[in-house]
Amino acid sequence: MNTERDTEQQSTPRVALVTGGTGGIGRAVVERFAADGYAVAVHYAGNQARADELVERITAAGGQAIAVGGDVADEAAMAAAFDAAEAAFGGIDVVVNTAGIMILGPVARFDLDDLDRMHRTNIRGSFVVAQQAARRVRPGGAIIGFSTSQTRLQHPTYAPYAASKAAVEALTLVLARELRGKGVTVNAVAPGPTATPLFLDGKDQQTVDTLARLAPLERLGTPDDVAETVAFLAGPARWVNGQTVYVNGGIA
């Protein structure tokens, strides 16, 4: 027999906060969560209009969503974003940090100001979001960070970016162990070449075609491919913990 509390839990949607929720992969994750019945806090860094448009589309379809803004590397801004999600939906069950930037170049000539800017978002930002998530995600929840398959592929010009994402992988297992006994899983997703504006920017068609042929499946990944893995880690994958899942079609 279901208790009143059981009934309440069943009728209350899980709540997800997705950073970078207006980007290619982030948007696909938000849309997947909304389709799965989650209430979603859609985070944006600079384009509130895109976040508001996505929220409006979700709510028009009968879902629950709000937009929250701020620099992921700013702890006060992220605390406010988490506060807003909790105020709107009563708590947070899943945090997905897709926010990141990618600047490519050879080590010998790489601009150190670009290195600092990228690492501020990709390393400090990942840490700030993970810190808030570790304090707030409810038992039974999940924290999901984003790495890259370039930590294995290690193609030239990717060293600064891959280094910033290797930090995410290091954070993942340690945080999973630190949350022992709390019923919260911590994992990272490491996409391979995925057809997003971030990935395609600055690449000519020949380069894109070459990268598409790397996978045995002979295509680029799609944001929906990645969102499917995120949905698995956020919900049914309760025995996957402290792992980096490479979502790349078999490249590495």
Closest C-alpha among 79, 71, 91, 90 to residue 19 = 71
58: left (phi over 0), alpha (psi -120 to 50) or beta: alpha
The half-sphere exposure of 182 on its side-chain side, counting CA atoms within 13 A, is: 20
Q: What are phi and psi of 194, to 5 degrees?
A: -130, 135
Closest C-alpha among 46, 23, 246, 26 to residue 150 = 246
38 tagged catalytic: no
Distance from C-alpha of 24 to C-alpha of 20, rounded to nearest angstrom: 9
Which one from 38, 44, 158, 161 is the annotated catalytic residue? 161
Catalytic residues: 161
